[in-house]
Structure 1
Amino acid sequence: MLELLRLLRCELCKLKRKRFVQLVIAAAFLFPVLLTFFFLNWDPIWEKCSTQAEVFDMMWQSVLGYGIQLFMPCILGIIAALLFFMERDNDTFKSLKTIPVSSTKLVLAKVILLFLFSVVFCVASTITSVFCGGIVFEVQGIGYKLWMSVKMGIYITAGTLPLVAVIVFCSKSYIFSILLCVFYSVLNEAGAFVMGALPKAVVYLMPVPLTTLWSADDMQKHMVVSDPKDLESLRALIPAEAEVAVILFTVAFISVIFMVKLYQRRGE
C-alpha cells in the first residue's frame, strides 16, 4: 500500500508539469460561470420555470450533462494518454523495471489518479455552480448535488476505462488519442439522445446513456425540477443504482486487467 501511494504521488507530480491539466482544472470553474450567465439571460427558461430554484436546478443539470458527462470521457482519455505515454516518450519504462515496480501497481496508480481527478473536477464544477447560483438564483439540496457529483465522477471514470485500455493498446500518437477520445465522447452523447431507439444491452454498455437514465430518475426524486413525463417512455430502461455500479465496475475491472497484461508483456 505504501508503494502504491508513492507511485500515486509520482504520477501526480508528472501531471503537475502538464499545461493541459491546468487548463482542464480552470475549465471546471469557468463552465458553470458561463452557464450561470446564459441561464440568467435566457427568457425561455424563465417562462418554463416558476421559481429561481427550478432555474438553478436546470442549470446544474446542464453542468452535469455537458460539463461532466460529455467532456469528462474526452478529458480522461487525454489525461490517460499523458499518463501512460510518459514512460514510452521519455524511455524510462526499462528503468522502472529495474527498481523494480510491478506492472499491477503502476497501472493501479495511474487509474486511481484518473478517478481522483474526475471526482475533483466534478465536485469543483458543482461548488462553482452553487457559488454562482447562490448569487443570482435560489440554491437547494447542496448536499445531494455534491454527493451526486462524486458518484457521477466515479461512474463516468469507470465507464471510460475501456477507452483508456484501447489508447494503451494502440499506443499511437497523441493526435490519434485525442481523435479517439472525441469520437468516444460524441458517440456516447449521441447514444444518450437516441437511447429510446437502442437495444437495452447497447444502452447499458455506454456509460453516458446508462448514467443519464439513472441520474435523471434519481434527481427527479430529490430536486425541485420534477417532470415524470420526460422519462415515462424510457421507464423500462431505467436501471437501479446497484445495476449501474455492477456494470461499470465490472467493465472497469476487465479494462484494468487488460492494461496490466499489456504492461507485463511490454516488460518482458
Structure 2
Amino acid sequence: MTATMTTPTLPAGRTVTLGVSRIIYEVKAYFRQGDTVFFTFLFPVMMLAIFSTAFAESDFGRDDAGNTMSGAAFYLPAMLAAGVLLSGLQNMSIDIATEKSDGTLKRLAGSPLPMISYFIGKIGQVFVTSVLQAALIIAVAALAFGVNLPDDPQRWLTFVWVFVLGVTTSSILGIALSGLPRSGKSATAVIIPIALVLQFISGVYLQFTMLPEWLQNVASVFPLKWMAQGMRAAFLPETFEALEQGGSWDLAGVAIATSIWLVVGLVVCRLTFRWIRKDS
C-alpha cells in the first residue's frame, strides 16, 4: 500500500504566522552555510570588484554629461541581475533538491506545517537575502569604486519593480527547477551550469550586443536577459539605450517577458512539486 501525505488545513492567519517563522529559520540557516554565502551571496560582489579592477582603465562609453563610463558603473546593473538569479533560481533549486534527497521534505510532510507556509519561508528568505545582497553591491559600487548612483526617483522606481518581479520569478522558477536533479548530490552539477550559461548569454559578463544575433535571440527567450536590461535602464545613462537590442530599454517587454516566466513557473510548480519524489 502507498501512504498518502496530506497537507494540514489551518486558518489563513496561522498559515502566514508559520510562514514568517519559516522565513526567520531559513535566513538563519542560509547564513550558517559558508559555501552558500560565498557562492551565492558574495559572488556578485566579488565579480563586481574583479571586473571593476580589471577594467579600471577601460572606456565603456560616455554618460549623459560626456564623462567616461567606468567598468564598475557598467557592471553594476549586470551584477544586480546576476544576484537575483543566483539567490532565486540557483540557490532555491539546489536547496529544495537537497531537502528532497536528505529526507527533510519527507519529515515536513508528516508535520503540521502547510506547504504554503514552507514556500512563504523559502521565497521570503530569497527576498531578504536578495535585498541585503543588492544593498551590498550598490554600496560597494558607490563607496569603493565611486559609481554615481541615479538621482532620478523614476529610475529607482524602475529598479524596485524590476528587482521585485525578478526575485519573485527567479524564486518560482527555482522551485520548478528543483525537480530536475535526480538527487541532492547531483543538484549542484545540474543547476549551476544552467545559471552560468544564462549569465554569459544574457548580457551579464559580456555586452549583450557583442553577441551574435542568433544568440541574442536565444537569450531573449529567457528571463535573465530582460532582468539585466531592466537593471541597465535603471542605472545606466540614457546614451546607452541605443545599444540595446532594438535600440530601446523596452521596459514593457521586460515586464511582459518576466511575468510570462513567472506564470510558467507557477504552472510547473503546481503540476510537478511533491513533498516526496515519486521514485524515492
Do the two structures share a fold, i.e. TM-score over 0.5? yes
C-alpha displacement at 1:8, in angstroms?
A: 1.6
Paired amino acid for 1:210? W
Q: Please say if residues 81 and 231 of structure 2, whose CA atoms lie closer than 8 Å, have aligned partners that are also in contact.
A: no
C-alpha displacement at 1:175, in angstroms?
A: 3.8
Deviations 1:232-264 (A, max 9, x none): x614893515424532432343344346x4227
Matched residue, 1:166? 177
Distance in 2 separating the partners of 1:163 and 1:223: 28
Paired amino acid for 2:28? C
Q: Give the TM-score normalised by the residue count of structure 2.
A: 0.69
Whether 2:259 is the aligned partner of 1:249: answer no
The alpha-carbon distance between structure 1 residues 251 and 205, as it changes in their structure 2 partners (threshold 3 A), is farther
Q: How many residues are paired up?
A: 254
Map 1:125-164 to 2 at 5 A.
125-134=137-146, 138-141=148-151, 149-160=159-170, 161-164=172-175
Paired amino acid for 2:183? K
Whether 2:246 is the aligned partner of 1:230: answer no
C-alpha displacement at 1:226, in angstroms?
A: 1.0
Paired amino acid for 1:190? I
Task: Pick one of 25, 43, 46 that aligns with 1:30.
Answer: 46
Map 1:30-179 to 2 at 5 A.
30-39=46-55, 41-45=56-60, 48-49=61-62, 54-56=68-70, 59-65=72-78, 67-70=79-82, 72-74=84-86, 76-134=88-146, 138-141=148-151, 149-160=159-170, 161-179=172-190
Task: Pick one of 19, 22, 25 that aligns with 1:10.
Answer: 25
Deviations 1:195-233 (A, max 9, x none): 854797x655401222344444x34xx7545144323x6
Q: Please say if residues 93 and 175 of structure 2, whose CA atoms lie closer than 8 Å, have aligned partners that are also in contact.
A: yes
RMSD: 3.8
The alpha-carbon distance between structure 1 residues 223 and 71, as it changes in their structure 2 partners (threshold 3 A), is closer
Q: Please say if residues 78 and 178 of structure 1, whose CA atoms lie closer than 8 Å, have aligned partners that are also in contact.
A: no
Distance in 2 separating the partners of 1:158 and 1:139: 25
Bigger helix share: 1
Distance in 1 separating the partners of 2:37 and 2:212: 34
SS of aligned partner of 2:136: helix
Paired amino acid for 1:98? G
Distance in 2 separating the partners of 1:237 and 1:152: 12
Paired amino acid for 1:189? F
Q: Please say if residues 77 and 177 of structure 1, whose CA atoms lie closer than 8 Å, have aligned partners that are also in contact.
A: no
Q: Please say if residues 189 and 208 of structure 1, whose CA atoms lie closer than 8 Å, have aligned partners that are also in contact.
A: no
Identity %: 10
Deviations 1:165-213 (A, max 9, x none): 122343423444344332343145325545854797x655401222344
SS of aligned partner of 2:41: helix
Matched residue, 2:226? 210
Q: Give the TM-score normalised by the residue count of structure 1.
A: 0.72
Distance in 1 separating the partners of 2:270 and 2:189: 23
Distance in 1 separating the partners of 2:152 and 2:49: 17
The alpha-carbon distance between structure 1 residues 189 and 71, as it changes in their structure 2 partners (threshold 3 A), is farther
Matched residue, 1:181? 192
Distance in 1 separating the partners of 2:230 and 2:95: 31
Matched residue, 2:4? none
C-alpha displacement at 1:107, in angstroms?
A: 2.6
Paired amino acid for 1:60? A
The alpha-carbon distance between structure 1 residues 197 and 44, as it changes in their structure 2 partners (threshold 3 A), is same
Paired amino acid for 2:81? Q
Distance in 1 separating the partners of 2:51 and 2:201: 21
